[in-house]
Structures are given as structure tokens and as C-alpha cells.
Amino acid sequence: MTPRERFLQAILFGRPDKVPLQPGHPRESTLTAWHQQGLPEDADYYKYLLEILGIQQELAGPKVDLGVSFRMIPEFEEKVLEHKDGHYIVQDWMGAVTEISDEYDYTYIRSAKDFVTRRWHKFPVENRADWEGMKARYDPQSPERYPGDFAQRCEALHNRDYEVGVCFNGPFWQLREWLGFENLCVMMMDAPDFVGEMIDFWMEFVSQTMTPVLDAVVVDYVLIGEDMAFKAHSMISPDMVRRFLVPAYQQWGQQIKQSGCPIYAMDSDGYVGELLPIWVECGMNYSFPTEVAAGNDIVQYRRLYGKNMAYWGGIDKRAIAQGGTIMENEVMRVVPPLLEDGGFIPGCDHGVPPDISWPDFVQYSRLLAQLLGWLE
């Protein structure tokens, strides 16, 4: 099978020759630690991992990216407003004023290279005038949204052997970037019509921006980024999800299904147990990373939702960090029960943290490779 065929078969409850080996993605601090624990400085961690395991890497030519942007155009000027007492205060590209320790380069604000705590001082939409200005930055017809060779890229993707998808923010995530989390939650109670107006705008912007893509090529997945859960609970109630977010999920879901795309995916950290039944109702069929520490039990979710939902992740990062029998017990708790049905690519239940050592990561990956059909 090609990597694309294997991915689709694994997620869609088919019969892959092997399940994709995706043990997890390390952050920058994790790679720094691994370089002190046996990973060569100049090595790609995944290629080196395959060498250690004795798995021949599948040859792949250059991949074509659709190059479509759902970001604001133009972006705000990114600039340092203040640097003192060990902190940067920065206006980021989204227009927010953010504080970050100068232990890190301030560009960490624009790229999640590591587990970095930030503090927000101000968000770009505080009133109606701000909102009108923000809307002007999201013109779906802006020529910068699509690369100049967009048609050629789509043509080249028709015979691909790797998966290709479209990713954008969900309405909760996007309004959180405009308003801030607390402001958004307060406005859902105090100014629900204004919140609804912003969500309707985002729903139509996304639909219109997706349309040229879905008309030109059948993508393998559409992924919504919608971090909206804490430990033990969703950030807003299921009733509020249905009131504010479900209309967008349903409109996009109909558009995605009509295009022939087989996977409608949701990426949310935290406890998603209250949200999964709503996502299933909206036609979503793939969810990750399913964090165990937040209270998620991927085995229980399979019993509840059967083949209506596939998963990536679900292996407790804390158990992987302990290694040995504890790691093995966690992998065996999760992987065999779900692999029997399919619809599952196991992996670390979020970014791989630096307390997972390189030797333990190799040991864990070796066990996964054996279970997934890559090793005898």
C-alpha cells in the first residue's frame, strides 16, 4: 500500500497492510534533551528512529502543498513593544499584545516550537469598530489566499501517494483569537447576537475559501483546530456548543461530504467526552489527540461511539515517560482493543514532552511497531 492508502484504510476502518507508525512529535526542548541522550545532533529524529528499529523508510518524492491560507490578510506588524524584567511584550501577527519570557526568542509566539507559557494583555477586537476593521482582513477573494500556481498544484495532486488535507480554525478558536477566552465567554452570555454575527462571518469565510479547493481536488481530510476543553470539562457547555458552534460544523460538514472528502477531523486538547457526541452528530469521524491526563479514555469512547469516530493518539505521555512495564501496560491497555476494530492510529496523547527520554521513546516506538505490523 502507499502511505495514503494505508492512512485512509486505517482511519476509515478498512484493512491496511500495516497501521501508520506515528508515535508522536517532539517539541524543541524534547529534541534538545534527546541530543544529550543519544540522538545525533544532525539527525532527523524519525529517520534515525526507523534506522534503530530496522524499518526501511518508504521512498517519497517531493510533496505538493495546496498553499491555501485561512489567515488574515494583511497580518498585523509583529513588533516588540517592551523588553524588561526578563520578559518581552509583543504585538503579534494577529494583533494581540502578548507577554513571553525572554528565555525564549519572541518568535515562539508565532510558532508552537515548545511548551511555552504566555500571557495576553490585549486582544484585537474590543468593540464594533475593531470588528469592522478585522473583517476587512478576511476577504475570501483576496488573491494572496491562493498560490499563483494553484491550478497546477491541484493537478499534480490527482495521482498522489500521500494524504493531503485542508486545515483551519473552528469558530470557538477563531473568536478566542479575536476576543480572548474570558471576553468570548462573557460575550456569549451578555452579547450573544454579536458573537453569533462573528461566527456567521467566520462560517461563510471558511466555506468560501474552501470552495476552490474542494472543487479542484478531492482532499483526504478537512481538519478543524478547536482547542476548547480543560481537564474534566469542556470550556463551554454542550448546550452552548449546540447554540453557537454546531451551525458552522454542520454547514462545513455538508460541504466536505459533498466534495467526496472522506475524513472530517477535529483537533481539541482537554477532556472531549462531552463534545464527542456532538461532533459525531455533525458528521465528524476523526478526533485527536485524546489526552489521558484530561480524563479521556479512548477504549471507553470506542465502546460508546463504535465506528462513528476514529482516533489518533490516546497513549498517556506520563506512562511513556516512566518507561518499562508501566509504558508497556499503557500501550497494551489502549492499542490491541482498538486495532481489532480499526479506526485508530496510536500515538503519544499530545506533543512529546522532554521528560520522555530518547531511550524510552525508542522502546515505546519499538513496541508500537511490533503491534502495528512493522516488525516481527
Mean predicted confidence (pLDDT) in 65-74: 97
Strands 286-289, 118-122: parallel, antiparallel or unpaired by DSSP? unpaired
Domains and their CATH numbers in the chain: 3-71+125-372 (3.20.20.210), 77-123 (no CATH)
Edge-to-edge strand list for the sheet holding 87-91: 79-84, 87-91, 97-101, 118-122
| Residue located via cell numbers 466534495 | 259
- Give the mean pLDDT of 267-282: 97
12-67, pLDDT tens digit by residue?
999 999 999 999 999 999 999 999 999 999 999 999 999 999 999 887 778 999 99
What is the arithmetic mean of pLDDT over 91-101? 94
How much is the mean pLDDT over the chain?
96
Residue identified by cell 474542494 is 214
- Tell me whether strands 263-268 and 286-289 are parallel, antiparallel or unpaired: parallel
Q: Rounded CA gap, 40 and 248, in Å?
A: 46
3-state secondary structure 286-336: EEEECCCCCCCCHHHHHHHHHHHCEEEEEECHHHHHHCHHHHHHHHHHHHH
Whether pLDDT at 108 is above 80: no
The answer to whether 276 and 300 are in contact (CB under 8 A) is no
pTM over 0.75: yes
d(CA 36, CA 41): 9
